[in-house]
Amino acid sequence: MKNIKGILLIVLTTAITFTLWFFAIPKTDIVPLDRVRHIVAGLALNGFFLNFLLASRNKFIEGWFNGLDKLYVYHKYIAITSLVLVLIHAAISDQLTTDQTIRISTVLGGLGLFLFIVLAAITLFDKRLKYEEWRISHRLMLIAYTVALFHVIVSSKYNLFNLSPLSIWVVTTSVVGYLSGLYVIFFYQNAQFTHKGKVTNVTRLSPTIVEWEITLDKPMDFVKGQFIFIKVFQKGMEKAPHPFSLSGGDGKKIYLTTKNSGDFTKQIYESLELDTRVSIDGPYGRMDFSKGKKNQVWVAGGIGITPFMAYLKNNQIDQSIEMFYSYQGEAGGVYKDFLEDYQKKNKQFKVNLIDTAVMKPLDLKDYPLKKNSSVFICGPVKMVENYAKIFRNKDKNVDLTFEAFKLR
């Protein structure tokens, strides 16, 4: 498994948290249910520590999960699990409460729970929010985390101020989690957007798709098939960073191909001006076709064609490649002519074009996957998940790489 290190990070920190809380000795005798309550609270805090750590977009940790898109899948489900643990902790606390005296720790616990529920509901389920609004609500989680930490420290029946394995672990994970959250909110925008440049060409390839050329102040090393986060400094446009796959370039000049499918990409298509300054964080991603096996299968959906185009435009292939390119309508197949011409000139390359406006959706259930093949998939999340499942059913050990980037 390419993401085994990331899974081990989650499993080991969770196991350590459970073990230390389970064997810790409370300050006074407590009933077994109260011990369970503390263990659940400890696991919830560990989940929040992991989530803030993963949100920092550390490239070292990204490598452990074999890509930022996979990392964010774990990020999402750790958040959901942590919220469930908080609710269980609250329910057990309610069962154990006999003293009706109002204490600051109790008030903070209730406030933290309320914040977690509201913010989690917004970030996970409200699809009406604009991306920038979603980012703000997501980052307010640090306030809820602060309240939760204070609640645990003040109300714990275990002495977290004494030097013990439990206190060292709680302090260490809390500090790392909290610093990660502070970094994301206050320092990430300046610290990681180190590549600067300007827009030097804008080409509208179809009524919905635009290619923009960026000339960087200093060259950027990247592998054809990776993606970046970019901020566009043009009046009237969102200032939040957005992820896009690189569709080509030599490092000094890079190309992005984007589809008019949201507020920001609509602004790019309609209003992007030459000489607009940009800053970039990246590159990210693991779509390195040169490391694949001799026989390769490529599956691209819509604008997911961009990492494949970046490779084909800048490399002479020596692999045997069969590509499936699914798009909707003539306007969606902006690279159709390029791929057909490339196929004529390269006997090792075969392309299957699927226009879903006039053809049935691509079905790969009966595709005869050769042994020792590498499969690369990029496109909408549901499409990628569907085809990844199909190829894994054909061969559970298949060399599979995919990008289905979705922050929400």
Strand partners for 323: 298, 351
153 pLDDT exceeds 60? yes
Q: Given this structure, which CATH class describes domain 4-187?
A: mainly alpha
Identify the pLDDT of residue 103. Answer: 62
When pLDDT is cut at 50, 70 and 90, the band that residue 130 belongs to is low
When pLDDT is cut at 50, 70 and 90, the band that residue 135 belongs to is low
380: left (phi over 0), alpha (psi -120 to 50) or beta: beta
Q: Given this structure, which CATH class describes domain 195-284?
A: mainly beta
When pLDDT is cut at 50, 70 and 90, the band that residue 110 belongs to is low
Identify the pLDDT of residue 366. Answer: 86
Identify the pLDDT of residue 129. Answer: 59
Identify the pLDDT of residue 406. Answer: 56
Task: Check: CB of residue 131 under 8 Å from CB of residue 242.
Answer: yes
Identify the pLDDT of residue 407. Answer: 47
Identify the pLDDT of residue 219. Answer: 92
When pLDDT is cut at 50, 70 and 90, the band that residue 165 belongs to is very high
Identify the pLDDT of residue 126. Answer: 54
Identify the pLDDT of residue 232. Answer: 93
Q: Do domains 195-284 and 289-403 have the same CATH topology?
A: no
Q: Which residue has the higher pLDDT, 134 or 238?
A: 238
Identify the pLDDT of residue 78. Answer: 93
Identify the pLDDT of residue 258. Answer: 86
When pLDDT is cut at 50, 70 and 90, the band that residue 124 belongs to is low
206 pLDDT exceeds 60? yes
Q: Choose which CATH entry (3.40.50.1360, 3.40.50.80, 3.10.129.10, 3.40.50.11810) describes domain 289-403.
A: 3.40.50.80
Task: Check: CB of residue 16 under 8 Å from CB of residue 169.
Answer: yes
Q: Where do runs of H (alpha helix) occur along 24-163? A: 32-55, 59-64, 68-96, 104-125, 131-139, 141-155
Q: Which residue has the higher pLDDT, 115 or 105?
A: 115
Identify the pLDDT of residue 323. Answer: 93
Mean pLDDT of all residues in 184-207 = 87
* CA dist., res. 313 & res. 316, Å (int): 8
Give the torsion through C-alpha atoms of 68, 73, 75, 80, to 10 deg. 170
The CB-based long-range contact list for 10-17 (8 Å cut-off, 24+ gap) reads: 10/50, 10/74, 10/78, 13/46, 13/49, 13/50, 13/173, 14/43, 14/46, 16/169, 17/42, 17/43, 17/45, 17/46, 17/169, 17/173
Mean pLDDT of all residues in 118-128 = 65
Q: What is the pLDDT of residues 25-80, one digit of tens each?
A: 888 888 989 899 999 999 999 999 999 999 888 888 888 888 777 888 898 899 88
Whether cis (ω within 30° of 0) applies to the bond prior to 243 is no
Task: Check: CB of residue 348 under 8 Å from CB of residue 323.
Answer: no
Q: What is the pLDDT of residues 170-190, one digit of tens each?
A: 999 999 998 998 888 888 877
86: left (phi over 0), alpha (psi -120 to 50) or beta: alpha
When pLDDT is cut at 50, 70 and 90, the band that residue 277 belongs to is very high
Q: Which residue has the higher pLDDT, 47 or 315?
A: 47
* CA dist., res. 377 & res. 388, Å (int): 8
Helix (H, G, I), strand (E, B) or coil at 162: coil
Where does 237-384 show beta strands of DSSP type E? 242-249, 253-259, 277-284, 295-301, 320-327, 349-355, 373-378
Q: What is the pLDDT of residues 329-370, one digit of tens each?
A: 877 778 888 899 989 988 899 999 988 888 888 888 888 888
Q: Give whichever of 96-100, 150-154, 157-161, 328-332 has the largest mean pLDDT.
A: 157-161
Domain ranges of the chain: 4-187, 195-284, 289-403
Chain-wide mean pLDDT for the chain? 84
